[in-house]
Amino acid sequence: MSCAFATIQSLPLTPENHSINPLKTSSPFLGFTRHLRLNPLDNNKSPSASIRRRQSSVVAVSDVVKEKKLKSNSSLSNLLITKEEGLELYEDMVLGRTFEDMCAQMYYRGRMFGFVHLYNGQEAVSTGFIKLLRKEDCVVSTYRDHVHALSKGVPARQVMSELFGKTTGCCRGQGGSMHMFSKEFNVLGGFAFIGEGIPVATGAAFTSKYRREVLKEADSDHVTLAFFGDGTCNNGQFFECLNMAALWKLPIVFVVENNLWAIGMSHLRATSDPEIWKKGPAFGMPGVHVDGMDVLKVREVAVEAVARARRGDGPTLVECETYRFRGHSLADPDELRDPAEKAHYATRDPIAALKNYMIENKLVNEAELKAIDKKIDEVIEDSVEFADASPLPPRSQLLENVFADPKGFGIGPDGRYRCEDPKFTEGTAHV
């Protein structure tokens, strides 16, 4: 993987290249994908083992499992997941992938507008983390938020409707692709400016701590996850929030979805030290780097990070090395990325990896997975039909929701509050 960073513009990525690169630039980065230790800088994983792992074309099994397997062969109890968990993870990732593919179709057919940013290829991060959460835990994302919302439980119908701009969308059609919110499932957005969601996530974590310590709600241990990309990690709000979260030991996990590209800006061209996980310890929290194309590895790290936050031990910075198969948005021609790089990551498709893992370890058979594929196809078809059939927002919706208390529109010349004007509820009042 360090090769990718060093040679991204020139060399195609092959296993041979991996061995060419001197270890001194690669080992701390690549080997550091595991348990959160008290001393986050401690990396005693031997470099050679990590290189062996990198050369494997299907990166589905973590070192922990490998080690366990060495001890006792192919015992189901040594696997990282049970069958049920595996199916849940698979289904969630397929849901994300199929949904995003349908979005692309709908966009090019003129049903969806504006800026739409698709998540293809990054499903392991969303699934790996969010499937561990409870309903009361909060998720904050960026504009690439459809799959985070879906993983958290927002029905596909509501998300698709929102994308079509219909009134049955999760935000009544008022948010759109970049602003997925759900009070029921505690999805706190959906933000268009990068970095601006991180303070909001920090605030949600602050509330959790406040409830426990000031309001004395002993069972308040909600955790917040903040998802954002590599470009955001050069933004001031990122650093300011790392500081505050560590300072007050807030129950938050900062999840960096490092897909190496911020539109057309390569992470290496934008960042003085591209190893983002290192920025955690600088603020006093563990920094972990994990292979974000492998849902089991992500999940393993996530379990620890979330548990750490829930215990009250404070935040964690998790850098997930991942990749987006499509362009930055549906308007992005995606000309700058090296096709060889894309091909390399296509071989690391998280869904294929999980599928192979489960089949090789005899957790499931092909038919069961195919059944899930079919089920998800139907869910997505249904969501499109629902969105198509849903009404567009009426005029009366225009002025609602600007204020939680509509008295905020003030007092009109006639002495009445503007919101009492019948034209207000019709949406035709001029405020």
Partner 1 sequence: MAAIFQGIGATTALSSINSLDSKRFRLSSHRLLSGGKGSFFVVRSDGRSKPGPNPRGRRPEQLITNAVATKADSSAASTTSKPGHELLLFEALREGLEEEMDRDPCVCVIGEDVGHYGGSYKVTKGLATKYGDLRVLDTPIAENSFTGMAIGAAMTGLRPIVEGMNMGFLLLAFNQISNNCGMLHYTSGGQFKIPVVIRGPGGVGRQLGAEHSQRLESYFQSIPGIQMVACSTPYNAKGLMKAAIRSENPVILFEHVLLYNLKERIPDEDYVLNLEEAEMVRPGEHITILTYSRMRYHVMQAAKTLVNKGYDPEVIDIRSLKPFDLYTIGNSVKKTHRVLIVEECMRTGGIGASLTAAISENFHDYLDAPIVCLSSQDVPTPYAGTLEDWTVVQPAQIVAAVQQLCQ
User: Should residue 117 be labelled a site residue for partner 1 when binding is judged by CB under 8 A?
Assistant: no
203 near partner 1, rule: CB under 8 A:
yes
CA dihedral 133, 135, 137, 138 (to 10 degrees): 110
* Residues from 213 through 242 that contact partner 1 (CB under 8 A): 213-215, 236-237, 240-241
Residue among 244 and 379 whose Cβ is closer to partner 1: 244
Q: Which of 56, 370, 411, 428 binds partner 1 (CB under 8 A)?
A: 411
Interaction between residue 368 and partner 1 (CB under 8 A): no
State yes or no: residue 404 binds partner 1 (CB under 8 A). yes
Q: How far apart are CA 431 and CA 429, in angstroms?
A: 6
| Residue-wise DSSP of 338-357 | -HHHHHHHHTT-HHHHHHHH
Using alpha carbons, list the distances in angstroms from residue 150 to 159, 178, 192, 307, 399: 8, 14, 18, 22, 28
Q: Per DSSP, which regions of 270-427 are E strands?
A: 287-291, 316-321
Least CB distance from residue 295 to partner 1, whole Å? 28
202 neighbors 241 (Cβ within 8 angstroms): yes
Question: Nearest 5°: CA angle at 228, between 287 and 146?
Answer: 135
* Shortest CB 252 distance to partner 1, Å: 10
Q: Are strands 261-262 and 252-258 parallel, antiparallel or unpaired?
A: unpaired
DSSP state letters, 397-418: GSSTTS-SSGGGG-B-TTSSBG
CB atoms within 10 A of CB 104: 15
- The closest of 130, 127, 146 to 138, measured between CA atoms, is 130
Select 196 or 382, whichever has its Cβ closest to partner 1. Answer: 196
What six digits make up the tokens of 77?
């109890």
Pick between residue 215 and residue 331 the one whose CB is nearest to partner 1.
Answer: 215
Q: Does 425 bind partner 1 (CB under 8 A)?
A: no
267 binds partner 1 (CB under 8 A): no
Token pair of 49 as six digits: 């083992």
Which residues are paired to 229 by β-bridges? 257
What are the counts of helices (DSSP H) followed by strands (DSSP E) for the chain?
18, 9
129 or 181: whose CB is closer to partner 1?
A: 181
The residue among 176 and 292 lying less far from partner 1, judged by its C-beta, is: 176
Binding pattern to partner 1, positions 128-147, x when CB under 8 A? ----------x-x-------
User: Which residue lies nearer to partner 1 by CB, 121 or 190?
Assistant: 190
* Nearer of residues 113 and 403 to partner 1, judged by Cβ: 403
Is 410 near partner 1 (CB under 8 A)? Answer: yes
Establish if 386 lies at the interface with partner 1 (CB under 8 A).
no
Size of the site for partner 1 (CB under 8 A): 65
Part of the chain binding partner 1 (CB under 8 A), chosen from 12-20, 49-57, 108-116, 210-218: 210-218
Q: Which residues contact 419 (CB under 8 A, 6 or more apart)?
A: 399, 406, 407, 409
Shortest Å, Cβ 191 to partner 1: 7
Q: In this structure, are residues 10 and 34 in contact, taking their beta carbons and an 8 Å threshold?
A: no
The one segment of 8-16, 361-369, 375-383, 410-418 that binds partner 1 by CB under 8 A? 410-418
Note whether 192 binds partner 1 by CB under 8 A.
yes
166 touching partner 1, by CB under 8 A:
no
> Which spans of this chain sit near partner 1 (rule: CB under 8 A)?
138, 140, 169-175, 179, 181-183, 188-193, 196, 198-211, 213-215, 236-237, 240-241, 243-244, 247-248, 400-405, 407-418, 420, 431
